[in-house]
Structure 1
Amino acid sequence: MDTIAARWARLQPHVQIVGPDDDRPRPTVLLFHGCGGLRSHLPRYAEAAKAAGWRAAIVDSYGPRGWGRTLTLTTVCTGVMFRGYERAGDVLAAIHGLSQRPDVDASQLALAGWSHGGWAIMEMMSETPAPRRMGVADPGSVDLPSIKAVFLAYAYIGPWAFNRMKPWRHHPRVLALTAGRDHLTTVRNAERVNAMIRAGGAEVESWVADGTHAFDEPTNNGPMRHHPDLTEDALRRFGAFLQQTAA
């Protein structure tokens, strides 16, 4: 089983940094893709972060493992393997590794996750960091006070998300985007989860968008439909959320 340092060594070559063209320490948001892997909408969110004065780190969880889209659609998206509580180790490793960069303000980090990525973030926030939890040998070696904000885009909170109602161990600002026509959850279920996070002490803003799961991804696959106008709204809200967090 990887240590945090070993996991970061595997992830690092597959992390894309986007931000202002300077080398001064800036607040940084870590972006975690959905179960379908890296898609063209994540760089748009990275550019929104850049416009807000932040750096963005797009973390590819599949590249280091040699997994292609066909494999992950048929195994990860169906819950056969690599569930959120296993991927949570990637989140911890990315926090650890990016905090070492001189152009990152390690005291001001944010996490952003889409679907499966949001699930991984929520598992990391709620799981007890005992040895060998979250897919890594030493999860307790990463501190969370530097995490000032979390953006959850239609995070997976279905049957396999066993910890969805488990209180978080850290309480940053949260912007929770729920798709009103999500085939993987109801709005009621999402609001129950948001209320639990809020009750723990976090400031939670909830936005129910009138779209399907993955409406901001430029594809039409099964019950999912791209919605350009809602995508622009999501990008605007994301950038404003980061600006407010830094302020």
Structure 2
Amino acid sequence: MDTMAQRYALLEPDMTVYGPQDEVVRPVVVLFHGCGGMRPHVHLYAQAVALTGVRAYVIDSFKPRGWDRNFAVSLICSGAVLQGYERAGDVLSVLYGLQKSSRVDMDKVILCGFSHGGWSIMDLMTSPLTKAGNVRIADPDPALVDRLKGLFLVYPYINFPARSNTAKWLHKPETFVVLANKDHLTPIRHSQKVFGKLKAQGVDVTALELDASHAFDEEDNKGLIMQYDPAIMQTSLEGLLSFVTERFELT
């Protein structure tokens, strides 16, 4: 079982940072890719965020572990390896590392997750983070999560065995979710049900429902089940920029 420092040390070498490369303390957006591994669209979202003057950190959970796309699609997308609750340890440990960097305003951090990345972020919200072993981390710290400014979730996977189906969120940052009404992995009605329950628990949720498939922003998707749509990606991207501007009070 890793400590937060050990997990961050694993991830940090393959982290990509966009935005001002200085020592000024700034707000940040941290982006976590889907189950298929790092894809170009995640970097496009991050580059757009950086244009607002904040930093964007793109986290690759797979490359540091030696996992390629074939491994990811066959074993992670099938749920056999690194389910959301386990990867939630990556999310928490990145927050630890950012705090240690002394370059981040920890009261102005937004987590952004795509599909499996969204699942991982949501599972983190369900964990008390008070005992060794929570999210498979030896020394979890709930204060890192309770300071979050917001969550931006893009077609998050919340079908079985995602913990938000049955567990309440113990941490409740303001949340913006982009849902695809043709999502084959998590049907839109199920997503509506889950986020409706979260609203009832007191989570401030804004939902943007788009006429799109799962992974509508991945340019390689040209099939009947998952279809790239640049116009819809632009709408999603504008949603992120609006959320960042509002939560960080940018002028």
The TM-score normalised by the length of structure 1 is: 0.95
Structure 1 gaps, min length 5: none
* Corresponding position of 1:243: 245
1:176 aligns with 2:183: no
| 1:98 alignment partner, SS class | helix
Whole-Å separation in 1 of the counterparts to 2:90 and 2:188: 28
* Corresponding position of 1:15: 15
* Corresponding position of 1:234: 236
* Corresponding position of 1:95: 95
Whole-Å separation in 1 of the counterparts to 2:148 and 2:9: 21
Alignment of 1:1-247 (within 5 A): 1-129=1-129, 130-140=131-141, 143-220=144-221, 222=223, 223-247=225-249
Whole-Å separation in 2 of the counterparts to 1:163 and 1:50: 30
Q: Residues 134, 24 of structure 1: CA spacing in aligned structure 2 closer, same or farther, 3 A cutoff?
A: same
Whole-Å separation in 2 of the counterparts to 1:77 and 1:238: 25
Q: Is 74-83 or 130-139 further displaced after alignment?
A: 130-139
Whole-Å separation in 1 of the counterparts to 2:38 and 2:4: 22
| 2:49 alignment partner, SS class | helix
Whole-Å separation in 1 of the counterparts to 2:142 and 2:193: 31
Q: Is 113-122 or 132-141 further displaced after alignment?
A: 132-141
Q: Percent identity?
A: 39
Offset at residue 221 of structure 1 (A): 5.8
In angstroms, what is the RMSD of aligned CA positions?
A: 1.4
Whole-Å separation in 1 of the counterparts to 2:222 and 2:122: 25
Whole-Å separation in 2 of the counterparts to 1:214 and 1:117: 12
Which amino acid is 1:111 matched to? Answer: L
Which amino acid is 1:236 matched to? Answer: E
Whole-Å separation in 1 of the counterparts to 2:5 and 2:72: 25
Whole-Å separation in 2 of the counterparts to 1:18 and 1:232: 19
| 1:20 alignment partner, SS class | coil
Whole-Å separation in 2 of the counterparts to 1:142 and 1:66: 31
Are 2:153 and 2:176, in contact at CA under 8 Å, matched by a contact in 1? yes
Q: Is 62-71 or 46-55 further displaced after alignment?
A: 46-55
Offset at residue 100 of structure 1 (A): 2.0
Structure 2 gaps, min length 5: none
| 2:244 alignment partner, SS class | helix
The TM-score normalised by the length of structure 2 is: 0.94
Offset at residue 51 of structure 1 (A): 2.0
Offset at residue 60 of structure 1 (A): 0.5
| 1:79 alignment partner, SS class | coil
| 2:156 alignment partner, SS class | coil
Whole-Å separation in 1 of the counterparts to 2:235 and 2:171: 28
Offset at residue 220 of structure 1 (A): 1.6
CA deviation profile, 1:33-75 (whole Å, cap 9, x unmatched): 0001110001111122112222110011011101000011000
Offset at residue 7 of structure 1 (A): 0.6
Whole-Å separation in 2 of the counterparts to 1:200 and 1:54: 31
CA deviation profile, 1:102-148 (whole Å, cap 9, x unmatched): 33112211100000000000010112322112121122365323211
Q: Residues 97, 70 of structure 1: CA spacing in aligned structure 2 closer, same or farther, 3 A cutoff?
A: same
> What is the count of residue pairs matched by the alignment?
247
Whole-Å separation in 1 of the counterparts to 2:100 and 2:222: 39
| 1:99 alignment partner, SS class | helix
Are 2:126 and 2:163, in contact at CA under 8 Å, matched by a contact in 1? no
